[in-house]
């Protein structure tokens, strides 16, 4: 049977079992507590502000306002609609609110209570909202499942965009041809598998290969002795050097130090202190890794837009591959902001997702998650040094991250239009497309990634209101 994307059966998965509900509530309580301790947050935009917060230069209310402003659009415009349409929870719905609640809590004991309360609202309230939406004449949640195909099949091209932006259009075009060839081959030879998995693997490997070759070439060029300076030629004019104090020789900043060592780099000192701060709290991160992995292994959670649909369909191997390749785009950002701020990413380098998808049971996943987070914290300084030695690899990850964002913006917009056509035909397209364009025209109060799903929800509500006013007849089927 060829790979299919129907997630209709997945909607009922919003009725969580008691162990699943308690696990989600516990994870939300823990992430809120860790956010309150300023050890980790999910929003990458919030993390750079945490250093001033830890030092007391930013007040709690100001920090809460920053976190809310950077997160609210993703929670209600992307996280909630994606969860309702797939039946699978996601990090925007769970961890952006626990960032806010943890920072907001004036007392440490209050943070896990607020986080746990949010988890309870999600697991118990989402099912009721889902059932109510499906009882409406215009079932916009089922229509939103049409977003799966554009998201999955356009998302796989993000390495093409990254290579074209970093290494030029020729290599980008070559990568595009290679990825399409892998998609066609996969559909022919392995029709039951998601055909984008091998294509993404090939694209990411090509990007890393181009970057590594460039770094090695640049390092070889840097080791070539520079040509002799004209100033060293016999009879060349000499540039006068100022005398040191009291007419003596110029001061040497190394020799003048009592220990003979060069002055300390303040940036390196800060990075080292922040890495040490995270290592001091290593047990908390081990517990966090175990809890996250346990929740993901229950298959009620997807780490990204594309993987939410794959998890809903039960394709955990493909979901693991997608999130594994995606992790390379965010690793440098997470590592550098963690070293600069002293706060880690709530989900680590995101490798916990593929590990937990593939673990045979919850216990194995939890142990693996604890070990993985421990290794990530201990390796943070080494990763930072490695990125400094491989600038093209670091740049490649930046291009990957930007490409992921651009690709998903287009894919989600296409999916939103497909959902609009399914639930409302031409009128649905007009409403969803019009709301998206209006959002652009008024300065984008809702970020592009969330604008499409949010427009589908609003348009669905409008279509139901028009139906009750006898101004719109829902489409059959």
Q: What is the pLDDT of residue 5?
A: 57
**How confident is the model at residue 160, as a pLDDT?**
94
pTM above 0.85, yes or no: no
- 231 part of a folded domain: no
Structurally, the chain folds into a number of domains equal to 1
Neighbours of 280 (CB within 10 A): 11
Band of residue 387 on the pLDDT scale cut at 50, 70, 90: confident
Mean pLDDT of the chain: 85
Q: Is residue 249 part of a domain?
A: no
Among 35-39, 116-120, 291-295, 398-402, which is the least confidently predicted range?
398-402
Does residue 256 lie within any of the structural domains?
no
Is residue 348 one of the residues assigned to a domain? Answer: yes
- Residue 8 maps to a domain: no
Residue 226 exposed, middle or buried by CB count within 10 Å (0-12, 13-18, 19+):
exposed
Q: Is the pLDDT of residue 12 over 50?
A: no
CA distances from 245 to 242, 251, 252, 338 (A): 10, 8, 12, 43
**Domain assignment of residue 37, given as a range:** 15-214+267-468
Does a structural domain hold residue 336?
yes
In a domain, 118, yes or no: yes
DSSP 9-28: GGGGGGS--HHHHHHHHHHH
Tokens of 230: 């004209």
In 223-361, where does DSSP find H-type helix? 266-280, 282-297, 305-313, 316-341, 352-358
Does the residue 114 lie in any domain?
yes
Which tokens go with 432?
């969803």
Query: pLDDT tens digits, residue range 277-317?
Result: 899 999 999 999 999 999 999 999 999 888 998 998 888 99
- Residues 158-189: tens digit of each pLDDT: 999 999 999 999 999 999 999 999 999 989 88
Q: Would you say residue 234 has pLDDT above 50? A: no
Query: How do residues 319-360 score in pLDDT, each as one tens digit?
Result: 998 899 888 878 888 888 888 888 999 999 999 999 999 999
């Amino acid at each position: 049977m060829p790979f299919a994307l129907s997630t209709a059966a997945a909607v009922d998965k919003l009725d969580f079992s008691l162990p699943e509900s308690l696990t989600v509530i516990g994870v939300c309580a823990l992430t809120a507590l860790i956010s309150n301790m300023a050890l980790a947050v999910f929003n990458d935009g919030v993390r750079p502000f945490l250093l001033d917060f830890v030092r007391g230069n930013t007040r709690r209310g100001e920090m809460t306002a920053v976190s809310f402003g950077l997160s609210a659009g993703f929670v209600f415009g992307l996280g909630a609609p994606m969860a309702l349409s797939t039946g699978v929870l996601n990090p925007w719905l769970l961890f952006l609110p626990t960032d806010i609640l943890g920072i907001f809590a004036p007392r440490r004991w209050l943070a896990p209570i607020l986080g746990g309360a949010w988890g309870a609202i999600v697991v118990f309230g989402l099912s009721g909202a889902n059932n109510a939406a499906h009882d409406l004449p215009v079932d916009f949640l089922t229509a939103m499942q049409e977003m799966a195909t554009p998201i999955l099949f356009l998302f796989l091209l993000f390495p093409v965009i990254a290579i074209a932006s970093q290494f030029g259009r020729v290599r980008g075009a070559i990568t595009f041809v290679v990825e399409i060839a892998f998609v066609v081959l996969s559909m022919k030879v392995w029709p039951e598998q998601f055909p984008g998995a091998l294509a993404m693997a090939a694209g990411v490997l090509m990007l890393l290969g181009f970057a590594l070759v460039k770094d090695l070439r640049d390092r070889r060029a840097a080791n070539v002795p520079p040509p002799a300076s004209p100033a060293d030629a016999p009879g060349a004019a000499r540039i006068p050097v100022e005398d040191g104090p009291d007419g003596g020789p110029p001061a040497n900043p190394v020799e003048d130090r009592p220990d003979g060592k060069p002055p300390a780099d303040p940036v390196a000192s800060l990075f080292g202190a922040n890495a040490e701060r995270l290592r001091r709290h290593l047990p908390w991160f081990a517990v966090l890794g175990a809890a996250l992995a346990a929740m993901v292994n229950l298959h009620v959670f997807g780490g990204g837009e594309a993987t939410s649909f794959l998890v809903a369909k039960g394709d955990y191997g493909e979901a693991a591959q997608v999130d594994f390749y995606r992790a390379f785009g965010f690793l440098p950002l997470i590592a550098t902001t963690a070293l600069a701020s002293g706060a880690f990413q709530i989900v680590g380098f995101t490798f916990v997702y593929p590990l937990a998808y593939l673990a045979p049971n919850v216990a194995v996943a939890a142990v693996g998650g604890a070990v993985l987070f421990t290794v990530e914290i201990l390796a943070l300084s080494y990763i930072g040094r490695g990125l400094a030695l491989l600038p093209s690899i670091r740049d490649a990850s930046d291009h990957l991250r930007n490409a992921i964002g651009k690709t998903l913006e287009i894919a989600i917009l296409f999916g939103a239009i497909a959902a609009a056509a399914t639930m409302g035909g031409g009128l649905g397209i007009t409403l969803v497309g019009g709301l998206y364009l209006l959002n652009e025209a008024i300065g984008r109060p809702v970020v592009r990634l969330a604008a499409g799903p949010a427009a589908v929800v609003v348009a669905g509500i409008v279509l139901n209101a028009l139906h009750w006013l006898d101004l719109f007849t829902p489409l059959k089927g």
